[in-house]
């Protein structure tokens, strides 16, 4: 393991000890919490990576739990594509009393990012509780929420709860791997009636601490970017490396990538990001906060934009971003390259198109010898849901109850979720608040992923209450 990683892990462990020391200890678990912990453990310990795991197995386990809780066969749909037998999912329906109220949908993905045991301090597919955290791949992204959705559906059924509106749950596979079979996309295309809803709750929201155990803010995701890859390619007749020439496919590609690096897409705001910068900026009270407020008032304020963009997260919230992620070039170490390619990963601002982003890259590169093509699959245009007071209002009240003094702010994800496929068929998707994470990202998509124990259990109670508020609303 490289020394820089060892050093980073040492610092991370020290920080975790500080956080654990400052968070109040958990009370002994109630029986319902113990049952939930076992469900969470089962999900984390079911490997659902693309390479070696099975979402289908996880979905089958979930279906068995739902049946044991009283759901009938007709209320549970297991699905998979014959060409992708391990990438299945499950949809469950709890019928509501009202025939006029449209259903709500609980959305989640079962798959997780790859995790190599030799790279991790702990076994990534064993749920380990240590220093106030649960460790394991998927503990944060997003099996705590998956377990919460399943647990809520089970307890609703067991208790005889009859919501006003129907509650649906769809747990799918393929969110973490762009080129994999995607269950949410499959449902939207092939079984839209199964998931039709007035709105959906999904990942993407949640709170953030100061890194020392203090919760600073809760957010509700209202909109996201669209992820799209582009292939940059240069070609050349090549030749013997003993007689080099300037006309070199690698050099041409390198020049193009330098221009991609230096290109800044224009600043844009949605209703969500405007509200975010205004509210979050006002709460800060420092120079950065004042810049955020100024930018919310005038997106053409260059000084404010320069100040806000010093923060990497805020910089990405303000525009489309594109970055080189993969390279492949040449065919022999003693030959001039005949071909060089690079993958450029773009996160496209809501409302912007794949074609428009491609044209911007072509213009920024300014070299007809560089071919720029979208890499399948091509995702839909990101459609931000409205800042609906019927969605944000109840969440804000519940945040005030659970976390007094902590503001709820709307946010736009600079990443991408499966919500984009539902929004393409007219279902607004909101990333629910409730749990929380630390500013270092908690190892999501990286090493030693973790989630605060208190965040898991308090977040579970919060989300259960939030579901009921929405399900019983007029």
**How would you classify residue 463: left for phi > 0, otherwise alpha for psi between -120 and 50, otherwise beta?**
alpha
**pLDDT confidence bin for 43, thresholds 50/70/90:** very high
**pLDDT confidence bin for 416, thresholds 50/70/90:** confident
Q: What is the DSSP letter of 473?
A: -
Which structure tokens are listed for 217? 């803010």
* Contact call for residues 330 and 250 (beta carbons, < 8 A): yes
Please measure the distance between the N-terminal and C-terminal CA atoms of the chain and give it in whole angstroms. 56
pLDDT at 23: 62
Q: What is the DSSP letter of 432?
A: -
Query: Using CA atoms, how far apart are residues 354 and 228, in angstroms rounded to an integer?
Result: 7
Q: Which residues contact 130 (CB under 8 A, 6 or more apart)?
A: 122
Q: Tokens 């310990």 identify what position?
A: 45
Query: Using CA atoms, how far apart are residues 343 and 329, in angstroms rounded to an integer?
Result: 12
Instruction: Give the tens place of pLDDT for each residue, 17-26.
Output: 333 335 677 8
pLDDT over threshold 60, residue 141: yes
Query: Using CA atoms, how far apart are residues 135 and 137, in angstroms rounded to an integer?
Result: 7
Task: Tell me the pTM.
Answer: 0.90
Q: Tokens 């209450």 identify what position?
A: 465
- Cα–Cα–Cα angle for 188, 78, 52, nearest 5°? 95
Helix/strand/coil (H/E/C) assignment for every residue in 259-318? HHHHCCCCCCCCHHHHHHHHHHHHHHCCHHHHHHHHHHHCCCCHHHHHHHCCCHHHHHHC
Question: How many other CB atoms are found less than 10 A from the CB of residue 1?
Answer: 10
Q: Which residues contact 105 (CB under 8 A, 6 or more apart)?
A: 168, 169, 170, 195, 197, 199, 200, 201, 422, 427
* Contact call for residues 429 and 107 (beta carbons, < 8 A): yes
Query: Using CA atoms, how far apart are residues 466 and 443, in angstroms rounded to an integer?
Result: 27
Query: Using CA atoms, how far apart are residues 460 and 396, in angstroms rounded to an integer?
Result: 17
Output the CA–CA distances (angstroms, integers) from residue 229 to 5, 218, 312, 347, 348, in the order listed: 29, 31, 20, 9, 10
pLDDT at 22: 52
Size of the chain in residues: 474
The pLDDT of 293-307, averaged and rounded, is: 97
Instruction: Give the tens place of pLDDT for each residue, 60-93.
Output: 999 999 999 999 999 999 999 999 999 999 999 9
**pLDDT confidence bin for 118, thresholds 50/70/90:** very high
pLDDT over threshold 60, residue 4: no
Beta-bridge partner residues of 109: 172
Question: How many other CB atoms are found less than 10 A from the CB of residue 444?
Answer: 18
Q: Check residues 136 and 384 and name the one with the higher pLDDT.
A: 136
Of the candidates 437, 456, 460, the one whose C-alpha atom is nearest the C-alpha of residue 19 is: 437
Which structure tokens are listed for 10? 């040492």
The pLDDT of 207-220, averaged and rounded, is: 92
pLDDT at 26: 83
Q: Tokens 């594509």 identify what position?
A: 81
pLDDT over threshold 80, residue 410: yes
**pLDDT confidence bin for 354, thresholds 50/70/90:** very high
pLDDT at 424: 95
Ordered domains of the chain (ranges, CATH): 3-224+382-472 (3.40.630.10), 226-375 (3.30.70.360)
The pLDDT of 3-25, averaged and rounded, is: 40
Which structure tokens are listed for 399? 């945040």
Arithmetic mean of pLDDT over the chain: 93
Say whether the peptide bond before residue 176 is cis (omega within 30 degrees of 0): no
**How would you classify residue 69: left for phi > 0, otherwise alpha for psi between -120 and 50, otherwise beta?**
alpha
């Amino acid at each position: 393991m490289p020394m820089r990683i060892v050093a980073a892990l040492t610092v991370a462990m020290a920080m975790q000890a500080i956080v654990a020391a400052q968070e109040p200890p958990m009370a002994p678990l109630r029986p319902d919490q113990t049952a939930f912990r076992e469900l969470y453990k089962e999900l984390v310990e079911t490997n659902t990576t693309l390479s070696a795991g099975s979402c289908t197995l996880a979905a089958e386990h979930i279906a068995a739990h739902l049946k044991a809780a009283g759901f009938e066969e007709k209320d549970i749909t297991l699905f998979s594509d014959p060409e992708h037998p391990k990438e299945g999912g499950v949809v469950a329906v709890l019928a509501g009393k009202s025939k006029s109220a449209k259903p709500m949908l609980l959305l989640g993905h079962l798959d997780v990012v790859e995790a190599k045991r030799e790279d991790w301090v702990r076994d990534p597919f064993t749920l380990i509780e240590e220093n106030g955290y649960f460790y394991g791949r998927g503990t944060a992204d997003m099996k705590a929420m998956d377990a919460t959705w399943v647990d809520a559906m089970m307890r609703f059924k067991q208790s005889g709860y009859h919501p006003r509106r129907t509650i649906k749950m769809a747990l799918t596979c393929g969110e973490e791997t762009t080129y994999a079979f995607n269950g949410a996309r499959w449902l939207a295309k092939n079984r839209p009636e199964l998931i039709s809803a007035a709105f959906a709750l999904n990942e993407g929201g949640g709170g953030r601490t100061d890194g020392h155990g203090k919760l600073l803010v809760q957010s509700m995701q209202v909109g996201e970017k669209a992820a799209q890859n582009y292939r940059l390619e240069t070609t050349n007749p090549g030749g013997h490396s003993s007689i080099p020439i300037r006309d070199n496919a690698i050099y041409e590609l390198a020049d193009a990538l330098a221009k991609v690096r230096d290109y800044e897409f224009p600043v844009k705001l949605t209703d969500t990001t405007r509200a975010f910068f205004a509210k979050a900026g006002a709460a800060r009270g420092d120079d950065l906060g004042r810049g955020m407020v100024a930018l919310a008032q005038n997106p053409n304020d260059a000084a404010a934009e320069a100040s806000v963009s010093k923060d990497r997260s805020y910089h990405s919230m303000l525009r489309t971003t594109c970055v080189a992620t993969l390279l492949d070039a040449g065919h022999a170490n003693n030959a001039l390259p005949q071909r060089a390619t690079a993958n450029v990963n773009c996160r496209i601002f809501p409302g912007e198109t794949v074609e428009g982003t491609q044209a911007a890259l072509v213009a920024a590169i300014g070299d007809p010898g560089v071919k720029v093509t979208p890499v399948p699959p091509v995702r839909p245009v990101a459609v931000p849901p409205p800042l609906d007071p019927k969605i944000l209002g109840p969440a804000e009240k519940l945040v005030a109850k659970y976390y007094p003094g902590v503001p709820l702010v709307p946010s736009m994800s600079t990443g991408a979720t499966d919500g984009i496929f539902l929004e393409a068929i007219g279902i607004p998707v909101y990333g629910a608040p409730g749990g929380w994470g630390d500013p270092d990202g908690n190892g999501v998509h990286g090493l030693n992923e973790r989630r605060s124990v208190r965040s898991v259990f308090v977040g579970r109670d919060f989300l259960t209450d939030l579901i009921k508020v929405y399900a019983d609303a007029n």
